[in-house]
């Protein structure tokens, strides 16, 4: 276990964190935890582009409700290793690599003695990783998903084109190119608050943007064609599987524009002990939305986790 940097002044997290480098397969990843609550440990799985610091306030919300918290930098983002010389390109060859990261996180949590039971909060791309983890039978007693990426949002006519292009990208040597319409700049630095698709809360937008401005290494641009192909395959596989027998709440904003919402509705309609929780007027980042939405999200997560502590 090697100490890793954590930008506490930007994260606005509770004091008392431990932040370390871990090895997952061939990648060095970063994990932080707050061993501050006795009710159990909530493992937070961020979305694509996100680093640990972005969830500093979320860690505080969970600690306030009596839980310890553990958060990860997936390979390819945050301060973890990045696969390509252009560190602003979001890239993995296969989503199974993220499961290696999660496995390393759980091993380290056990070594650190983080309290059980274990619970899961998974956002966006982290929602795909988290659902796969539940299907693998990893030891989470309950899960809360936030705008999970169980489908890639694109026009229907583009889907067969995307499948064909991504399948050809690696054998023809252009899999490292960014997907069309994306760039190598972090989204919060590209667009103004008005018209953004992440949050309707101006102060939380400034919080996200400030982290990348001060520590540019936390930023990430668009995904590569190889990442997109891997994501399409993983989403198809997840939707073909039966819902796991794990109590679940899935939070989704009614003006969601980042992930495909149809698979979310379809998946939750068939999840016998799952609940779809809609947030009127909320954008993609419900944990970084207006205060009333944030409070509702963490209260409902805590209530579900409290019910599964026994």
Q: How do 118-123 and 41-45 pair as beta strands?
A: parallel
pTM above threshold 0.95: yes
For residue 190 the two structure tokens come to 């590209």
For the chain, percent of residues with pLDDT exceeding 70: 98
Does the pLDDT of residue 157 top 60, yes or no? no
What confidence score (pLDDT) does residue 161 get? 64
Instruction: Report the topology of domain 2-307.
Output: Rossmann fold (3.40.50)
For residues 39-56, give the mean pLDDT: 98
Angle between helices 158-169 and 225-240 (to 10 degrees): 120
What confidence score (pLDDT) does residue 141 get? 98
Tens of pLDDT, residue by residue over 205-236, are 999 999 999 999 999 999 999 999 999 999 99
Quick one: pLDDT band at residue 295, thresholds 50, 70, 90?
very high
DSSP 16: -
- CB-neighbour burial class of residue 270 (10 A; exposed 0-12, middle 13-18, buried 19+): exposed
Question: What residue spans define the domains of the chain?
Answer: 2-307
Does the pLDDT of residue 260 top 90, yes or no? yes
What confidence score (pLDDT) does residue 81 get? 98
């Amino acid at each position: 276990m090697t100490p890793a940097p954590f930008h506490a002044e930007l994260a606005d997290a509770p004091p008392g964190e431990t932040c370390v480098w871990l090895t997952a397969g061939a990648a060095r990843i970063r994990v932080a935890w707050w061993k501050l609550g006795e009710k159990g440990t909530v493992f937070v799985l961020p979305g694509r582009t996100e680093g640990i610091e972005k969830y500093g306030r979320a860690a505080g919300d969970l600690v306030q409700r009596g839980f310890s918290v553990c958060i990860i930098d997936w390979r390819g983002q945050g301060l973890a290793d990045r696969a390509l010389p252009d560190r602003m390109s979001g890239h993995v060859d296969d989503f199974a690599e993220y499961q290696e990261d999660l496995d390393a996180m759980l091993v380290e949590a056990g070594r650190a003695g983080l309290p059980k039971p274990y619970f899961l909060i998974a956002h966006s791309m982290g929602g795909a990783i988290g659902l796969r983890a539940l299907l693998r039978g990893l030891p989470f007693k309950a899960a809360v998903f936030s705008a999970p990426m169980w489908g890639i949002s694109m026009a229907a006519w583009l889907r067969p084109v995307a499948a064909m292009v991504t399948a050809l990208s690696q054998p023809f040597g252009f899999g490292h190119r960014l997907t069309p319409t994306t760039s190598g700049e972090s989204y919060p630095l590209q667009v103004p608050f008005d018209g953004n698709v992440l949050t309707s809360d101006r102060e939380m937008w400034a919080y996200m943007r400030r982290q990348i401005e001060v520590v540019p290494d936390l930023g990430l641009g668009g995904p590569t064609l190889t990442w997109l192909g891997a994501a399409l395959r993983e989403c198809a596989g997840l939707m073909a599987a039966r819902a796991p027998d794990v109590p679940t709440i899935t939070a989704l904003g009614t003006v969601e524009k980042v992930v495909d919402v149809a698979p979310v509705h379809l998946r939750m309609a068939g999840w016998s002990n799952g609940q779809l929780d809609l947030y009127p007027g909320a954008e993609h980042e419900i944990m970084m939305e207006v205060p009333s939405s944030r409070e509702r999200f963490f209260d409902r997560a805590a209530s579900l986790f409290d019910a599964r502590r026994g």
